[in-house]
Amino acid sequence: MNVGFIGLGIMGTPMAGHLIDAGHTLFLHDVVKVPAELTAKGATACASSAEVAKSADVIILMVPDTPHVDEALFGANGVAEGLSAGKIVVDMSSISPVATKGFAEKINALGCDYLDAPVSGGDVGAKAASLTIMVGGPEGAFETVKPLFEKMGKNITLVGGNGDGQTTKVANQIIVALTIEAVGEALLFASKAGADPAKVRQALMGGFANSRILEVHGERMVKRNFAPGFRIELHQKDLNLALSSARALGLSLPNTATAQELFNSVAAHGGGKLDHSGMVKALELLGNHTVAPDA
């Protein structure tokens, strides 16, 4: 396919790379320079999102937040200006489910289909092409784009209509945040009690407490590696979506709120750009103890 890709950060670059490697023709745009590693593979760098949309049949967005999607789609020289009937716009960012429905209506009015397809798996999953992809939108468009999704991820599910993919991603981020908090508390407890947290983590991975977060982020906590795969400031954004949506629905999400406050604490101490496993730093501050010595 002729595929457009807008947003080439730590997630977008490897995702676009997999599509190029699979033989698709890529047209790329980013607010920063398009990575040379992608153009070296034969992809075309475009001057604007509109140029991408004119050149591609499927246009994928992978940008940080709701306002960035709005600007990429409907701002000056945005995707909407380059669309013609029959094209498909796919937003793989993690943004507001409510705003997503509005974006879909505007794109539909131009004669094009819209899929919201946020992902889970972080930079590790993006590089390994093992992302979980949660999709909202029409089934026909989903089936057309599915071969592209299969080059970027493993667990690919059409959840429902537009907005349902983003709702699923918000639910995912609630579970991830609360599990990071649980792993952090457990390893902090073990360390304070005098046990080796690395060996405790290894033992727990063989039991019912095992999880991908214990495996990956537990190791980050022990090895003190908080270089970002997924930044705290982005997880804060996702939990803001969860909490604001819960208020609108009349729901209480008490532990989600607690996890957000822990992220807020780390960010207040200058850690907003750390990996979200760095939430443990807030717990360490509260307990006046670290899981392991900093390198």
Q: What is the pLDDT of residues 67-96, one digit of tens each?
A: 999 999 999 999 999 999 999 999 999 999
- For range 91-105, the mean pLDDT: 95
Alpha carbon distance 265, 294 (integer Å):
19
Quick one: pLDDT at residue 80? Answer: 98
Question: 8-14: long-range contacts (C-beta < 8 A, 24 or more apart)?
Answer: 8/32, 8/34, 8/35, 8/38, 8/62, 9/62, 9/64, 10/123, 10/126, 10/228, 10/229, 11/62, 11/119, 11/122, 11/123, 11/126, 12/62, 12/126, 13/37, 13/38, 14/123, 14/126, 14/127, 14/129
What is the pLDDT, as a whole number, of residue 229? 85
* Torsion angles phi and psi, residue 71, rounded to 5: -65, -45
Whether pTM exceeds 0.85: yes
Distance CA 4, CA 62 (A): 11
SS3 category, 228: coil
Q: What is the pLDDT of residue 202?
A: 98
- pLDDT above 70 as % of the chain: 100
| Across 193-203, average pLDDT | 98
For residues 136 and 140, give the distance between their C-alpha atoms in angstroms, rounded to a whole number.
12
**47 has a pLDDT exceeding 80:** yes
* pLDDT at residue 289 in the model: 98
Q: What is the model's pLDDT at position 294?
A: 87
pLDDT at 295: 73
127 Cβ partners below 8 Å, 6+ apart? Answer: 14
| pLDDT attached to residue 286 | 98
C-beta separation of 101 from 127 below 8 A: no
Q: Tell me the pLDDT band of 213, cut-offs 50, 70 and 90.
A: very high
Q: Which one of 54, 87, 127, 169 is the catalytic residue?
A: 169
Using CA atoms, how far apart are residues 166 and 172, in angstroms rounded to an integer?
10
- Residue pLDDT, tens place only, 135-194: 999 999 999 999 999 999 999 999 999 999 999 999 999 999 999 999 999 999 999 999
Compute the half-sphere exposure of residue 105: CA atoms within 13 Å on the CB side of its CA. Answer: 6
What CA dihedral angle connects 183, 117, 159 and 134, to 10 degrees?
A: -30
Partner residues linked to 3 by β-bridges:
26, 58
How large is the average pLDDT for residues 246-274?
97
The predicted structure's pLDDT at residue 146: 98
Active site residue 281: no
E-strand spans in the chain? 2-6, 25-29, 44-45, 58-61, 88-91, 113-116, 119-120, 131-136, 153-160
Q: Which two tokens stand for residue 193?
A: 């009690």
